[in-house]
Amino acid sequence: MLDRLTLSMRASHVLAALLVVAALVLAVVGSAIGDTFYLRLATEALIFAGLALSVDLLLGYSGALSLGQALYFGIGAYTSALVLMKVPSFWLAMGAAAGMTFVCAIIGGLIANRVRGVYFALITFGLAQVVAKVVYNIRDLGASDGMIGIPVIDIGIGPFSVSAGNPVGFFLVVLVIIMALYAATAYLLDTPFGRVLTALKANEKRVPFLGYSVWRARMVCYLAAALIAGLSGALYPMLRGFVSPELMFFMTSGNAVISVILGGVGTLVGALYGSVFLVIIKSVIGSWTDHYLIIIGLLFMAGVLFMPKGLIGFVRPHVERMIAPRHLRETRAPEQDAPLKAEEVKP
Amino acid sequence: MKIRGYKVVLAAALAATALSGPAFAADPIKVGVVTPSTGTFAPIGQQVRWALELAAKEINAAGGIMGRPVTLIVEDEETTPAAAVQKAEKLFQVDNVDFLTGTVNSGATLAVGQLAERNKKLATTSVSFADSITADKCSPNVFRVNARAGQQSAALAAWLLKQKPKAKIYYLGPDYEMGRSTVAAFKANAEKLGAQSVGEVFAPNDSKDYTQFFGQIRAARPEVMYISVAGNDTARLLTQMQDFGLLNSLQVVGASGTITSANMGALGAAANGFATGAGYSPQIDTPENKKFVADFRAAYKVDPDLYGADSYGTLYAYKAAVEKAGSTDTDKVRAALEGLTWNTPQGPKTIRAGDHQAMQPMYVVRINNGKFDIIDKVSAEDAIGPDTCTRF
Amino acid sequence: MSRPVLEVSDLSIAFGGLRAVDQVTFAAERHRITTVIGPNGAGKSTLFNMISGALKPLSGTVLIDGVDMTGAAPERLKGAGLSRSFQITNLFFELTVAENLRLAAQVLEPAKRALLPIRCSTRAQAKTQAMLERFELTHKRDELAGNLSHGDQRRLEIAVCLASEPKILLLDEPTQGMSHQDTADTAKLVRSLTQDVSVLLIEHDIGLVMELSDHVVVMHQGRKLAEGPPAAVRADPQVQAAYFGHA
Amino acid sequence: MNALDYLQFVLAPQVVNGLALGVAVVLVALGLTIIFGLLDVINMSHGEFYAVGAYLALALGAAHIDFWLLIVLVPVLMLPLGMVTERLLIRPVFNTKDRHVTTLLVTFGLALIAEDVLKLIFGPNTQRPPTPIPGASEIFGIILPNYRLFLIAIGAVIVAGVAFVVYRTRLGAMVRAAAYDRNMAASLGVPVSLVYSGTFAFGVALAGLAGVLLAPIYSIFPTMGRDFILLAFTVVIVGGMGSIWGAVVAGLLLTQVQALASLVISPVWTDPIVFGTMVAFLVFRPQGLFGRLGHA
């Protein structure tokens, strides 16, 4: 029988499909008019959407706010860059980035998962700051200048081959990868393990008494999120041909958090839409003022205060109503936070 | 940002009309400007923008480049390479600019240079001074119109050791790649000329408090201190040294980016006596420079600084090259730029064909109540150093 | 008769020098209701917390089914067959009734299904359905747990504990705050649980305790005062003085 | 260099200068820890309030208002700002379940805006007010600027004053009661809501005061708020949320560790050391050195 969470997830899938359709339209139109810039900008937006997706997996499902997710994005990007300069193989770069991110995430996870809530946020923030600073000082990693000269690679997919320099081709490759990451995350959340994560966010203290290890669930979630960030990051040097320590800085992590809040926390697809939305408002508002951060900040605060499910929160209930079986139609959606009693608020 | 660009067009057009210059029939030549208006380097970006606008206005008033008006299209570098590359790509692809300049962050200059190469366009920097841009990481599509770190330290070291042979020097740099290489370059230059190094320390970027190093500095009893910090860090370091009475007995010298108009206000008297090797000072006593400074002041109420002057000169270099090539075609303009000699407020500059580095006379300037007094001059040939670019 | 499902011996814990529970020993027989009673502050909930892994005891042992589980984490105790409810309703308020139950029943699935889609967890689905029917919550399956009435929430809490098919169920004041009718229904329900599990109960309603329990453990100031069948305990003069005197 | 020289020129100045920096850090952390301890709110915009205080001092100083008056005037001006922030941004989300994360995010948004607004008004350049007390004194061969001596002294006075208010007055008792258990406090007649916004405003005013006092040493620029924030959070966590003495001890201790460590290792590694300390405390002693406000 279909339940509420599965229904919400399906509604997200409908919106994700819509995004894919829009992307394909862009690809068709873009290639028809021979556009390069907008396709590559959209590719970049999708790559950062992957980072936002990883933030949403942590924040929206296990309830852990990471202020340093760019760390793994950066590790993925640097690993991929180093591999590509030696061997221009897409699959090797992706594999190495995944491996490296995974190893680093085990260490980071062991540190960060000792704590919860705001402390988790502060630790992840600090972790990323420290690593970024170290990278900033390592000459072999290009130090503050970063590394340029990452070749434009050909991506072999079975008998076919796509050049990363081909705007439409690479856009489609990134689209497939990011949507695959989205699908994998959605799949994960619709498994018994994923439901434990949802439970973790709803009431962490109750979870161990149901027989699940909170630490293990959080750790697996942390690793999965790091992998998503790392794989997204691995795509960046293929697109731009360089990496720089700024990719690990707080602003990169902060942008991902802003994307998630604007798009809608805990909706997965919201991270993707939020990321695209952020790119759009940045370039639109940025075209008439240098002080666009004020407007983004205001939008962000409005999102936190008044729109707990962001943009998706406006749209998804309608989609749910359209696709819901009858038995789920009348009941209240689980979107709203249940009102809580004062004693539960007190830490 | 497009709009901002058009505002410049409008201003240029108005200026042209006002001066009853020629009415343009031809398509404009589009120059892309990626320079920070947000982030740490925003104050530098301000000078870059102003200087380019001034140059564009003048060029258009005088009939443009080959009869075509110049349009600037300005984008925000945000002081990060990632943003710079994104904006540069827009300029190359959407706005279809013929030429790109303005990047400040060295990483951004390198990344944008690579993008220019892949887009078969030309990019220049008038600010970034990391040696690598025209050395081991040089690109056939990248030119540097300003003096690099090596030129600056060569000039400064020559002057310093003339003043104080066998000077005892203490070095303080920011603890990251750029800071370390700047210190290393000056140290090599100075030691070659007979200086004694009595100690060095690298402070983290964004240090709040430099006082923790003062004991070591005092104990080493140096006569000269070389610093290569920048921006807010300089303001803190020098005012704190002043508070601790360290400035009384020390000659402080440093990299050219150490003191600029952005932190001069905060430094006040603490900046007095600071000497640096630079490609420019508003005090340069030539008619070209006097006119430039006067026009700049009239338009923006402040003096141009090093970045302003170099950016101003960039547009004239491009003008000269296009006119020499008779085209805006990348390959032809590149060929014209290589070996080009043109006039700037700093005097004539020549672009060395081998590494695309501008050669220019270098000045040693000393700050005196907010003014950069010129105290020495080193010829272009003596300052430039060897060509180590091997890519073209 | 087989060995007791839960054996507690010499269990102690101290908070800042104060012995909250002091060398308590008792056992809970299979398919019986064992009730811990005592005045407020007697250490009942602390005792529960130690047995269920929420607190680590200072000394003593807890055996479940003969296996030493002293100080084990709650999730391990769950694996050993222990399930508990809470004095203050402790559910996933933002999740539906069915999801609350399904999460609990999910432990019944083999580990390899943890990463297969939910719909493959057939055993958990069946168990959820069974629990909904048994606890008469079927028509509320898609309600949020947070929107249920207090009585329904307390019932759901018991259902959640039972959904994982434990060997022993710890119920901490299941009738707390309930109306008269609900209390009676809950009593009936708890009685019926002994078909499947053993129950260890904390309860304040003395009438209910006497009616329900097979075995009563009386605690007072952290120590065990007496234990035995309800009638015997009630007659104990020490218990009379310490407990019923106040009641 | 002989041992005596090392002591006089290196070690002793390092300790003394570390002390001055420590006082600066304590001043910034004080408001943060009070807000954190009472409201359980991670105020990500604390650094920006510090910057606002510094800019206010700069603007008013330019209008020829005396520095000594500014020390009083700026915190007073900051009070309504803090009050309004609490009412508009903290209060509405205070009773939601995720309020820790929510308030952190809201204040992060505020920081984003504040920084840009400061740049819009005052421009991106670095500025510096004149040093109110010029000159330097020599004590046992260690030179210390008079203003830093003053800073150490006034820092001690401020800490003592705050501690007096929090631990010795009726007002402070209310604050501590509300921090311990707000329902209990409310039932005892403490105007909890007023105490909350008052405390938040007080924390903001302290940040502003730190801005006034530190600007002559550390200069003023729009992003100055980010400067102390990691260090200040570390001090709050190490000292114990809301613990005033904890903040003082942790602030002085951490800056000494930093100062002395930088003698033997590259100063770049002092950040990881500070961060490592924070991690170690979170893992092994999450309540900090002194435990949290109201609970100690």
For D32-71, the pLDDT digits (tens) are 988 888 778 888 899 999 999 999 999 998 888 888 899 9
Among D76, D274, C124, B343, which Cα is nearest to A191's? Answer: C124
Evaluate whether C65 touches C40 at the Cβ level (below 8 Å).
no
pLDDT value of position A259: 92
CATH number at residue B10: 3.40.50.2300
Of A4, A195, A337, the CB nearest to C103: A195
3-state SS assignment for residue B359:
strand
Q: Are residues B250 and B306 in the same domain?
A: no
Task: Please name the chains neighbouring B, where neighbouring means 3+ C-beta pairs under 8 angstroms.
Answer: A, D
CATH number at residue A104: 1.10.3470
Q: Are residues B143 and B210 in the same domain?
A: no
- pLDDT surpasses 50 at B24: yes
pLDDT value of position A127: 86
Which of A37-51, B205-219, B269-283 is predicted with the least confidence, judged by mean pLDDT?
B205-219
pLDDT digits (tens, 9 = 90+) for D251-276: 888 888 877 777 777 666 777 777 77
| Closest chain A residue to the Cα of C81, Cα to Cα | A211
User: Would you call B211 and D268 a contact, using CB atoms and an 8 Å cutoff?
Assistant: no
Average pLDDT score over residue span C171-183 = 81
Residue B130 lies in a domain: yes
Residue B159 lies in a domain: yes
pLDDT value of position A328: 62
Name the pLDDT band for A340 (thresholds 50, 70, 90): very low
Q: Where are the domains of chain D?
A: 18-284
The token pair at D81 is 């700002």
User: Of B259, B278, B297, which marks where a domain is finished?
Assistant: B278
Q: Mutate one of C76, C94, C139, C148 to test the A interface: name it (highest A CB count within 10 A).
A: C94
pLDDT mean across residues, chain B: 83
Asked whether the whole model's pTM tops 0.95, one would answer no
Of A137, A261, A343, the CB nearest to D268: A137
User: What is the spatial distance between Cα A114 and Cα D45, in angstroms, rounded to a whole number?
Assistant: 26
When divided into structural domains, chain A yields a total of: 1
User: What is the spatial distance between Cα A259 and Cα C26, in angstroms, rounded to a whole number?
Assistant: 57
pLDDT value of position A327: 62
Evaluate whether A168 touches A33 at the Cβ level (below 8 Å).
no
Residue D102 at interface with chain B, using a CB cutoff of 8 Å: no
Among A141, A148, A86, which Cα is nearest to B137's? Answer: A148
Residue A121 at interface with chain D, using a CB cutoff of 8 Å: yes
Name the one residue in this structure whose structure tokens are 């100045």: D13
Q: Mutate one of D219, D265, D274 to test the B interface: name it (highest B CB count within 10 A).
A: D219
Name the pLDDT band for A223 (thresholds 50, 70, 90): very high
When divided into structural domains, chain B yields a total of: 2
Among C199, C198, C196, C205, which Cα is nearest to C178's? Answer: C205
Task: Please name the chains neighbouring C, where neighbouring means 3+ C-beta pairs under 8 angstroms.
Answer: A
**Residue D219 Ramachandran class (φ > 0 left, ψ -120 to 50 alpha, else beta):** left
Residue A281 lies in a domain: yes
The token pair at B40 is 């740490």
pLDDT digits (tens, 9 = 90+) for C21-39: 888 888 888 888 888 888 7
Residue B380 lies in a domain: no
Name the pLDDT band for A52 (thresholds 50, 70, 90): very high
Among B195, B154, B147, B206, which Cα is nearest to B171's? Answer: B195
On chain B, the residues whose CB falls within 8 A of the CB of D139 are none
Evaluate whether C106 touches C121 at the Cβ level (below 8 Å).
yes
Q: Percent of chain B scored above 70 by pLDDT?
A: 93
User: What is the spatial distance between Cα B266 and Cα A192, in angstroms, rounded to a whole number?
Assistant: 60
Topology given in CATH for the domain delimited by D18-284: ABC transporter involved in vitamin B12 uptake, BtuC (1.10.3470)
Q: Residues D97, D100, D101, D102: what is their CA dihedral angle, to the nearest 10 degrees?
A: 70
On chain A, the residues whose CB falls within 8 A of the CB of D95 are 340, 342, 345
pLDDT mean across residues, chain C: 81
pLDDT value of position D293: 53
| Closest chain D residue to the Cα of A111, Cα to Cα | D279
- pLDDT surpasses 60 at A332: no
Give the gap in angstroms from C-alpha A297 to the nearest C-alpha of chain B. Answer: 15
User: Would you call A137 and B175 a contact, using CB atoms and an 8 Å cutoff?
Assistant: yes
Of A3, A193, A199, the CB nearest to C114: A193
Q: Percent of chain C scored above 90 by pLDDT?
A: 0
Residue B383 lies in a domain: no
pLDDT digits (tens, 9 = 90+) for C182-227: 888 888 888 888 888 888 888 877 778 888 888 888 888 888 888 8
Average pLDDT score over residue span B282-301 = 88
Residues C1-81+166-247: name the CATH superfamily: P-loop containing nucleotide triphosphate hydrolases (3.40.50.300)
Q: Are residues B192 and B240 in the same domain?
A: yes
Residues 3-22 of C with CB under 8 A from A: none
Average pLDDT score over residue span A87-106 = 92
Average pLDDT score over residue span A230-246 = 91
The complex scores an ipTM of 0.83
Q: Are residues B103 and B136 in the same domain?
A: yes
Residue A306 lies in a domain: yes
Which of A203-207, B149-153, C115-119, D3-7 is predicted with the least confidence, judged by mean pLDDT?
D3-7
Domain hosting A216: range is: 4-326
- Sorted by sequence, the CB contacts under 8 Å of residue A341 that are 6+ apart come out as none
Q: Are residues B289 and B328 in the same domain?
A: yes
Q: Are residues B298 and B328 in the same domain?
A: yes
On chain D, the residues whose CB falls within 8 A of the CB of B263 are 125-126
pLDDT value of position B170: 93
Residue environment code for C22-35, b if the CB has 16+ CB neighbours within 10 A, otherwise e: bebebbbbbeebbb
Residue A37 lies in a domain: yes
Instruction: Pick the more confident residue, B315 or C184.
Output: B315
Domain hosting B260: range is: 150-278
In terms of Cβ atoms closer than 10 Å to its own Cβ (0-12, 13-18, 19+), residue A160 is exposed
Residues 112-131 of B with CB under 8 A from A: 113-115, 118, 130
User: Would you call A293 and D115 a contact, using CB atoms and an 8 Å cutoff?
Assistant: yes
Q: Percent of chain C scored above 70 by pLDDT?
A: 97
Give the gap in angstroms from C-alpha A264 to the nearest C-alpha of chain C. Answer: 17
Which DSSP string do the residues of chain D spell out, in sequence order?
--HHHIIIIIIHHHHHHHHHHHHHHHHHHHHHHHHHHHH----TTHHHHHHHHHHHHHHHHHTT--HHHHHHHHHHHHHHHHHHHIIIIIGGGTTSTTHHHHHHHHHHHHHHHHHHHHHHHH-SS-B-PPPSS--EEEETTEEEEHHHHHHHHHHHHHHHHHHHHHHHSHHHHHHHHHHH-HHHHHHTT--HHHHHHHHHHHHHHHHHHHHHHHHHHH-B-GGGGGTTHHHHHHHHHHH-TT-HHHHHHHHHHHHHHHHHHHHHS-GGGHHHHHHHHHHHHHHH-TTTTT--TTT-
pLDDT value of position B2: 38
Give the gap in angstroms from C-alpha A314 to the nearest C-alpha of chain B. Answer: 31
Residue A297 at interface with chain D, using a CB cutoff of 8 Å: yes
Q: Are residues B230 and B295 in the same domain?
A: no
Residue A304 lies in a domain: yes
Q: Are residues B192 and B204 in the same domain?
A: yes
- pLDDT surpasses 60 at B245: yes
